Structure 1
Amino acid sequence: MELHLGTKVSFYWLNCILLFFCLSGKAQIVIGAPSLGFSQACASDSFNSYTTSFVFSPESGLQSNNQFIIELSDADGDFTSAEVIYTSNTGEFTTSPASINFSFPTTTSGENYRIRIKATAPSATSSGSQSFAAYYKLQDSPFTINNLVSTGAYCTGSSYLLSIDNPGSATNDSPLNYPSLTFNWYRETSPTTSIFVAEGETLEVNTEGTYFVETNYGSCTSDSASNRVTISEASNGQANATIVSSLGNPYCPAQGLTTLTTIGGNSYQWFLDGEVIDGATNQMYLTNTSGNFSVQVDLGDCMASGSIDLVSELFNSDINVDEVNFIEDGQTLTITVTNDANNPSYEWFLNGNLIANETSESLVTDEFGDYSVIITESTGCTGAVEYQFTIQEAIEQFPNVEDIPNIVSPNNDGINDKWIIPQAFVSGTNTSIRIFSSQGKLVFQTNDYQNDWPQNDLGLSAINQVYYYIIETPEGNSKKGSITLIK
């Protein structure tokens, strides 16, 4: 049967249309809403791996260059500005259902996120998943507020400002170092319950209570919370100012200076054993000294005061010799150090050189020179104490000189530093010694002269000073003369 030309054309276009629809059908897939392998995502640097699975159909509809993409909504579940958080390799997934592991961005923070799946070849997009809470915990360790001082006070009608401490340190990972984080402040209502007060990096308090702050990680549990601070209203114009030592109390000075910190106020004055510490007018005071420290804090309309008996854990020690010691040639001197250190060790030095085989608490020596001993405690509060001393040859106090000198040079060079006179006039002879300034003022008098004048530098300058002496023996004999002191 023959067909007319018009009929042939109609069949041709019909076949084309049927072929188009057949080809189009092969190029389309449907992706089901993703199923979550978690109820909430509490990600961190130590854990950030989550799973989602989804179905798609038909499998034959996938092209060989297809990639599956995971998009993350905003914190309200809106995909208008969705963020791509995962892209598969080309042709990686070819069978349904598919399961994908992915991670959350470090900026994730909210209670109503959703994800959806997209295919690239052919193009297809699933509906959104169920809503879920998701947070990336940039900081997840305890931190401090109020400089770790456990109390604060405000005057009646005023307030007290609590703030998160910053910058961070090895012992305080301040969350303020992570600008994207937000914070919630709470007031305790019982040892185990609390109520939300406000958001922010600081909190102005005008109600008594115990306060703390947590990093806002929503329904995700976290260790990112502060210490507690108890705030009180000053009664009768006076409040207690707690003092905290950064190294604890007792503290170990081998770790360096400890920082004493008190409550916040308008101005401060620190004291040690009741005496004003000059220049100590800040909220913090650094020290390595033991003693009773106190502080007065001006809160504006009232005052606060507090104290701490700061004790060092470093061992106690002592040495049985003076800084300068004299022995005669051939004599020996025994030096002993006492201490209560744990497992102490000893090092002895002469003129800067280690003395070999001397490792006990005592040293016996007959050598002149500059010595030092270092006591070291290697357990507990590890640290060391050093003592320095000098051994010199003894100088005869009453040498047998013939003449009364008229020049003295008291410059501590060991030569002619003192006015040394004949033995007939010194200690034991009951001789009267008087010395006068050039203006006639009596500057020295004794009946028991020890060859020890001048006993200080007498304000020596570049100009030589002249003094006059009168020596009178018990027998009535006398001698007079002048003494020139040269520098």
Structure 2
Amino acid sequence: MKNNYKSYYLTAIIVLLGFLRLSAQAIVINAPEPVDNPNLGGDSPWPYICAGSSGFNEYFVNITWAGTANAGNQFILELSDANGSFSSPTELATISDKNTINDFDVSFSVPDDTRGLGYKMRVRSTDPVKLGTESPAYNMYYMDITNNLNISELGDGVPPGSVCATGPITLQVDNIPNPETYQYIWFRSGTLLNGETGHTLNVTQSGMYNAYIDYGPNCTGSGNTDSNIVDVTIGGTGTGIAINPPSQTILCPTDSEILSIDQTDPSWSYQWYKNDVAIAGAIGTTFTVDGGVVGFEGDYAVEISATGICTERSAPITMSNPGSFTVTRDNPANIVVLPSQPQTLSVSTDASSPTYKWYKNGAEIAGETSNTLSVTEVGSYYAQITETGGSCGSSSKNSETTVVVTPASFEVILDYADNYTSCVSTSTVLQVESINAVASDGTKTDVTTNLINSFAYQWQKDGADIAGQTGNSISLASNMENGNYRLNANIDSYNATSNVMSVQLLTGDTVTINSTGTVYCSSSDMVTLSSSLDLSTETYEWQLDGNTISSSDMDLNVSATGTYRLVLNRDGCQLISNEIVISPLDENLITLEPSGNLVIPEGTTRTISALGGTAYRWMDANNIEISSSDSASITEPGTYTLIASIDNCDIVKQFEVSILDTFKVPNVITVNGDGINDQWIIPNSYSNRTDINVIIYNGQGEEVLNEFEYKNNWPQTSTAFTKQNMVFYYKIRNAKEVLKQGTITVIR
């Protein structure tokens, strides 16, 4: 019955479209509907998709459409994103051989990155271009991971049975590639942790934790991704252990120091660590650090463990030798000095009682014993820092060397200070990016920080000085300033000329285009684009989807859908207008209020309105025009048609109107001559109708009435009834079927 109804509906639409001589743009494509997979047992359409399990990924939808498709047309089955948006749809199937078949099934597979609750499907055609109705949202998941997860604290793939910690820990999924690309469901002791969807979980409460990959409400259970369970105890027994303060932390080669834990317990186990690495065999309550052992320096800690308590590690103690201090050079490795520009070198150290000596070219500079040094001569400089080390004497370290030079010349390099793009930016700033001191051998030293404010500058455009522009930057804000720029820089007896920077700014003018319409459905349309500017003196081109289509039409007649813009040539740059999108005809642009089929009480009038069109024609069931406005008054049942125009394009919509009976066919009449209920009165939907046959039989099955256009006039006054409460039988039928039947009891 369903297929017969669908076939009848499609046939009616096709006949109507042919009768009205509509163009192919009036094609109607319904939303695709899930159907069963003929390659599997059963006959149930899929309600959601859980693909990927055991490699399965084959599904079917039913596609129905009406209208006329051209020979080269293709139907494209498309999938939205997980939020139902078709801004970048995925093509699931292309059908080229169904342009004369209005009802067919097609198979598809979902992409392997499909994961979400809001996927929709639709079908579009290519010739004519038409978007079909979108389907409802479906849950769709491709389950590329279908094995058990492993969660751990260390991320090492080893599933811990339990974890005991004095503070928060982090559990993480660690046995699948790119775990951060999935969403997860986490549980604590069987309770869902709302909002926790990442592959890591910060655990602050005790409990039994496990996780699943979130494949949605219908697919998660079949994904088989449930993890191991980790029993976590947070805030377990913690004793607050520490290492007793040692008598010394700086050890000479002849020194040693015994480190000891501040509390002990016979049930505890001990392990000493150096730099977070367990020391083999160091499992007592004390550990001896020997200053004579090469590499003894480091951070030492002790860890305790036992049944019933959380494993706990002490804060570290740092042990070092007298030479463990550090020295840092605070100035650049290369410095340029000029006759009028002495430079200062400096060093810093974390030595507790340092002394300083400065050296030039390997020779000590007498009297320089602070951490800074003023230099005016070329050479290689460093500082020597000495720390007194107690019983083992002192230790010295040298800083890194600073090379001080005088330049043979300077190099000034310009650059754009902002994100300048030629013929796009409307303003820019040029600035000194760097200054290099160039030695006689060509070696370059960056001296920008030290000398940028010491030079005298003069900006030039196209080889001529620019009055008043004597800073290390210049701002340009007009296409009238386009040209080639360079900078002359002077310091002492040095003169430098920068690189040349080309500036091509876009004019600040704007150009706007307008359109007489935004919908295109056929070559007979007349959609025209025009400009806000007089193009007679301009060099320009009209573009469609970025491609030139005309360089001579001042007003452009549109001949295809797409994105249009106008591009002018201004001072060697492109001045680009706003964009206007001309869309193909979409039946969803026209809406009816109320929508769907109508049921109206007999003898009443119902008004239906249309929105979205520029002109309308309403046709009744006999194809007679009943209105040309945006609304129509409906009084009779039947199939009504709206032909709505958008500019030169037509969209056809149909709806059914049926009559709600206000009274039923009576089964009792009283022929007592009082003028009330003396005759058998039936609803107007059956009486006075040339296509409705009314037949009445007596108790012996003999016809007493058989007529079309029944006038509600039985029985006649001359009709005789021989006894009380006589029973008659009636049928009300049309050419195809019996519409009503029953009994009539006549009381006299």
TM-score (norm 1): 0.41
TM-score (norm 2): 0.27
Q: Which has the higher contact order (CA 8 A, sep 6+)?
A: 1
